[in-house]
């Protein structure tokens, strides 16, 4: 899960960069941000 997790985090950083540039709407970026945040949080607990 380590390398896949880094891939997800990289995708989120890329999408958030597009969000800051105005190329992506916040409502479109929210699901992947929440998904990766939940995955990373559940991984830290175990």
pLDDT of residue 40: 77
Domain boundary assignment for the chain: 2-45
Separation of alpha carbons 45 and 11, rounded Å? 23
4 and 35 Cβ atoms separated by less than 8 Å? no
pLDDT of residue 16: 96
Length of the chain: 46
Residues 14-40 pLDDT 10s: 999 999 999 999 999 999 999 998 887
pLDDT of residue 45: 62
pLDDT of residue 11: 94
**In this structure, what DSSP letter does residue 22 have?**
T
pLDDT of residue 42: 76
Check whether 1 has a pLDDT greater than 80. Answer: no
16 and 25 Cβ atoms separated by less than 8 Å? no
Angle, alpha carbons 32-35-41 (nearest 5°): 135
């Amino acid at each position: 899960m380590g390398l896949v997790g880094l891939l997800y985090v990289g995708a989120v950083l890329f999408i958030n960069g597009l969000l800051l540039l105005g190329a992506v709407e916040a409502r479109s970026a929210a699901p992947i941000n929440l998904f990766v945040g939940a995955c990373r949080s559940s991984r830290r607990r175990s």
